Amino acid sequence: MTMKTVVVLNTQNPLLQNQAGEINRILNDLTGAITSVELWLFYQERKPELIPKISPPPSHLKLISLNKQHSFESYLQILALLSHQNSIDLMVFTSDSLGAELATRISFRLKGSACLQVESCKKNLEKLEVLKPVYGNNLTGKFSLDHPPYCLSVAKFPAHSPEMTPVNDLNTELVTMDQMDCDWIEEFEIIPDATVSGLIESDFVLVVGQGAKTKETVSELHQLANRLGAEFGASRPVVMNAWTDMNRIIGVSGLIISPRLSIIAGVSGSSVFKVGIENSDFIIAINTDRKAPIFQIADVGVISDMKVVLTELEKVILNDKKESNSQIGSEG
């Protein structure tokens, strides 16, 4: 079975010629398995006069004009529309991040198959066999794709940059994206979360770990932190269990804080967590496990149930505040 093939390029990329060379290498692997080749070329504002030479030569060129305000969805909609109109079997995309994402998402939309970083391929009966690097480029994996259209992004490798050829040498069709309706995409503004700045700037932070055991306990301790005037943070497991908000993670995968006082309750103290609190001036660690790594960096360690200790601590702090306010009142 032979395949009707499309090469997708974007003139906005300064490495256009190199990318065309990488794609030509893949097309050469499929000599005899390709019925015809079309080149779909995205451009913006100025229509290109020269294009890189594709081998085998395209029978048709579609010049697709990008709007200044185009979105990624615009690419997908026009590719899906043209694919349905032309019954495409194989789509070959560039080795950059745009090519990889287009290959993945358009294959899903067209109910086809996708493979990224393809180094070589061949047609085998009703399947397309591809080779690509795996395990950090230490091995080569062989994959069989059985649902056309096959959507491939090529691997980066040294390739001969083809010469440029005049656009007028090809049967050319102009396509605009004006008809692409993306009204369902809404503009939005990212507003910095006050939680993040609060945790970073606070002098007093209570951080709770998986030792809390339940979402209800985490919620209670969050309220206790509010009563104490402390910012509330959490270890990664607490957030992954959906017991509190994602933006409260302390550690390598979240925030690095440096308060005057950190109370760490129910956190075992992995190395990636300790990075997040080791700059604290004073650390109080509460844990039932006397061998917990968190005690290695704590100034004070309490081996006990966190709820009991924190409840008593709240009484002491609130009582001290009450006595301090009484003294100020009597002096006045």
Distance CA 118, CA 130 (A): 6
42 plus 157 within the same structural domain: yes
251 plus 303 within the same structural domain: yes
Total structural domains within the chain: 2
Distance CA 293, CA 290 (A): 9
Mean pLDDT of all residues belonging to the chain: 88
Is residue 318 assigned to a domain?
yes
Please, which pLDDT band fits residue 175 given cuts at 50, 70 and 90? confident
Digit-coded pLDDT (tens) for 252-300: 989 999 999 999 999 999 999 999 999 999 999 999 999 999 999 999 9
- Dihedral of CA 18/21/23/25: which sign? negative
Q: Phi and psi at residue 56, in whole multiples of 5°?
A: -70, 155
Distance CA 14, CA 138 (A): 29
Q: Residue 112: which domain range?
A: 3-176
Query: What integer pLDDT is reported at residue 66 of this predicted model?
Result: 82
137 plus 204 within the same structural domain: no
DSSP string, 218-286: HHHHHHHHHHHT-EEEE-HHHHHTTSS-GGGBBSTTSB----SEEEEES----HHHHHHHTT-SEEEEE
Please, which pLDDT band fits residue 178 given cuts at 50, 70 and 90? low
Is residue 182 assigned to a domain?
no
Give the residue-averaged pLDDT of 93-121. 95
Q: Can you give the CATH number for the domain in which 122 is found?
A: 3.40.50.620
CB 121 within 8 A of CB 30: yes
Is residue 49 assigned to a domain?
yes
70 plus 120 within the same structural domain: yes
Is residue 181 assigned to a domain?
no
112 plus 21 within the same structural domain: yes
Query: What residue type is assigned to position 332 of the chain?
Result: G
Angle, CA of 227, 231 and 237, to the nearest 5° = 115
3-state secondary structure of 165: strand
Is residue 203 assigned to a domain?
yes
Instruction: Enter the pTM of the model.
Output: 0.57
Query: What residue type is assigned to position 225 of the chain?
Result: A
